[in-house]
Amino acid sequence: MKTLEIELKQLIIDTLELEDIATDDIVSSEALFNEGLCLDSIDALELGIALQKRYGIKLNAEAEETKQHFASVSDLARLVASQRNDKN
């Protein structure tokens, strides 16, 4: 799971062009929005598209569970891992 978390951190940095941030700067359990990494709704949209392209994940922007999946890198990693397991 740690490898997946690092991969997701790099995806966030690359997708959102966060030039001043390294993967080590992002704490996996820290919030991605508001007080944590301070991402906004546009960032969430871009990140959602990147996740769909890279991992084939289907997301429903209106679903409450989607907000929970985007709470932290750890939560995103659980989502990606579960989607991978569903396809196997």
**What sections of 17-72 are H helices per DSSP?**
41-55, 64-69
Q: Work out the pLDDT band at 87, boundaries 50, 70, 90.
A: low
Mean pLDDT of the chain: 90
pTM recorded for the entire structure: 0.89
Each residue of 21-54: pLDDT tens digit?
999 999 999 999 888 899 998 999 999 999 999 9
Angle between helices 41-55 and 2-16 (to 10 degrees): 120
| pLDDT higher than 80, residue 85 | no
- Tell me the domain boundaries of the chain: 2-87
Query: What is the assigned CATH class of domain 2-87?
Result: mainly alpha
- If one compares 70 and 86, the residue with the highest pLDDT of the two is 70
Residues whose CB is less than 8 angstroms from the CB of residue 39 and which lie 6 or more positions away in sequence, other chains included: 16, 32, 33, 47
